[in-house]
Amino acid sequence: MNLPTKITVSRIIASPVFFVLYFLPGWAGMKSFWLVPAIWLLYLYAEVSDVLDGWLARRRGLVTDLGKILDPFSDVISRMTFFYCFTLSGFMPKPILLILLYREFGILFVRMFMMGRGKAMGASIWGKLKAVCYFFSAVLGLLTMSGRYLGGEFFSSPPWNALILGFFILSAVSSVASFFTYLVFVKRSLSNP
């Protein structure tokens, strides 16, 4: 297993650690001041390592079939862990989480299907917009969690709730739109082998 793949695997391992730290104060009845920076560090690690593993693999010529499968899988695991935490905390609506899950696992299937046919699927403009929406949704979700753990009333206010809901909805819309662009790519690829 090369270095980029090890970084990818570490992101998968970090996801359940994030989940445990996120809910540890409630489970253990403890103060959460020290956990807030730890949760943010894990989130930042997931984002930075996502860029780093791909960059290293391309730069050093270490792109592998395993890496091509593990990288998007680890992205799904980490991001859906964040969003699942926000849903359990009550500020991400359950239907939005379900849309995101369906999209992400559907894309994983489509990617593997196309990889089996020797065709790579590049990111579309909708896929890039989805990634931006996911990023801002996760940051807003973590700010909400941080504010609530540290006693900030603003992070429970109607304007803040409307802002975060708006980004969650944008994430859902962009994820569905990007899924359909991938389906169009698959249809064209199968029509023109």
Between CA 9 and CA 144 the distance in angstroms is 28
For residues 78 and 15, is the Cβ–Cβ distance under 8 A? yes
* Helices (H), ranges, the chain: 3-28, 35-59, 65-89, 94-116, 125-150, 158-191
What pLDDT does 39 receive? 93
Total tally of structural domains belonging to the chain: 1
pLDDT tens-digit map of 40-68: 999 999 999 999 998 999 899 888 878 88
What pLDDT does 42 receive? 95
Amino acid identity, position 140: L
Q: What domain range is 167 assigned to?
A: 3-191
What pLDDT does 123 receive? 66
C-beta neighbour count of 20 within 10 angstroms: 10
What pLDDT does 63 receive? 87
Question: What are residue 91's phi and psi, to 5 degrees?
Answer: -110, 0
Between CA 89 and CA 149 the distance in angstroms is 11
Instruction: List the CATH number of the domain containing 65.
Output: 1.20.120.1760
What pLDDT does 128 receive? 85
Q: Which residue ranges of the chain lie beneath pLDDT 70?
A: 32, 120, 122-123, 193
